[in-house]
Amino acid sequence: MLSVFQVTFPFFALVLCGFVATRRGIFPLPAIAGVNAFVLYFALPCMLFKAGSSLPFAQLMNLPILLLYVLCQLLLVAGCVAASHLRGRDWNNSAFGALVTAFPNTGFMGLPLLVALLGHAAAGPAIVTMLVDMVFTTSLCLALSRMDGAAGNAGAALRKALKGVVTNPMPWAILLGALASYMEWSLPQALDQTAGLLASAATPVALFAVGAVLARSKMVEEEYAAPASYVPLALVKLFVHPLLVLGLGHAAIAAGLPIDRFALLVVALVAALPSASNVTLLAGRYGAHNGRIAHIILVSTALAFVSFSAAVTWLV
């Protein structure tokens, strides 16, 4: 496990650097939006494009893995929403609790971390899960979050979510990378080097930004959240989610379905990642209890330093 810690430590250390720098005022809160914009619109799309264009097309369009992950996300969201309703929560907070539990931090943390651990081949299955979460999981939860209101709100939320997908550069970067892989295209050298420079900045800047976002949530958000409202969901994210993927994946293999074992390993480790930090932005926009969402992300990120390393040691 020590060898795994040697790989995972720098990633979590960069998150901690962003957290401490923001808490101590070294990194100003207004700068977070600019750093996030750089990662979202420049660095991360370049990293996704280069990763996708350098992989065989079949690894990017792995339909069995895509369908398996969609099923896992559907079951996890349904279970979280049902459990929240039993505790008396409304649709809005139930849906965002489900989203933060089901949506791993694959883009900012998981993709570079899994490539460092398992090699470049891990990028394909990880990118498949990103497409599912950005298009399916987010849209489903946003539609469910509007079920408290008048008829038509869920449909309006779904249309707004799909508009967000269309204007998000990351799915387009994935699709363009897949197209370049399929057509065996390559960028001109000058453009390829430019994209490479931006891609190389994605990991350190994104991880620092994750820490800054977590610190901002603790500094700005005044809403109290009882531990019982967020600790169980953080544990579900880190332990139940990967076990669900593994269980359904091995059941599919036993049934004779063409599930690649390496791809299943990658997707299980994606599920073992902490919650995505950008869910707080959506929760704030849609009026959910943002303090609870921020605590789930913070607790899952802190615990993942040990739990994710343990999962890698156990599975790899």
DSSP3 helix / strand / coil % (the chain, rounded to 5): 80, 0, 20
| Residues in contact with 280: Cβ distance below 8 Å, sequence separation at least 6, in sequence order | 213, 217, 290, 293, 294, 297
At 61, is the secondary structure helix, strand, or coil?
coil
Q: What is the mean pLDDT of the chain?
A: 89
Amino acid sitting at position 211: G
In the chain, what percentage of residues exceed pLDDT 70? 93
210's tokens: 């994750």
What's the pLDDT score for residue 223? 54
What's the pLDDT at 59? 78
- Predicted TM-score (pTM) of the model is 0.89
Residue appearing with tokens 């649709």? 91
| Average pLDDT rounded to a whole number, residues 87-106 | 94
Specify the pLDDT at position 152. 52
From the list 276, 302, 244, the residue with the least C-alpha distance to 96 is 276
Residue 99 CB neighbour total at 10 angstroms: 28
Which domains does the chain carry? 2-315 (1.20.1530.20)
pLDDT digits (tens, 9 = 90+) for 137-185: 998 898 888 787 644 565 666 676 667 667 778 888 988 998 998 888 8
pLDDT value at position 153?
A: 63
Is the pLDDT confidence value at 105 over 80?
Answer: yes
**Which residues have C-beta within 8 Å of that of residue 242, sequence separation ≥ 6?**
268, 269, 271, 272, 311
Percent of the chain with pLDDT over 90: 59
pLDDT in tens, 196-226: 999 999 999 999 999 998 888 777 655 567 8
Rounded distance between C-alpha atoms, residue 249 and residue 255, angstroms: 10
Question: Does pLDDT of 233 surpass 50?
Answer: yes
Evaluated on CA atoms 281, 285, 286, 291, the torsion sign reads: positive
- pLDDT exceeds cutoff 90 at 14: yes
Q: How far apart are CA 247 and CA 72, in angstroms?
A: 10
Cα separation, 215 vs 21, in Å, equals 9
Question: Which span out of 106-110, 125-129, 176-180 was modeled with the highest average pLDDT?
Answer: 125-129
Specify the pLDDT at position 151: 47
**pLDDT of residue 298 exceeding 80:** yes
Q: Tell me the backbone φ, ψ of residue 89, rounded to 5 degrees.
A: -80, 150
Q: Residues 265-279: pLDDT tens digits? A: 999 999 999 999 888
Structure-token pair, residue 214: 């977590």
State whether the Cα torsion 272-237-293-4 is positive or negative: negative
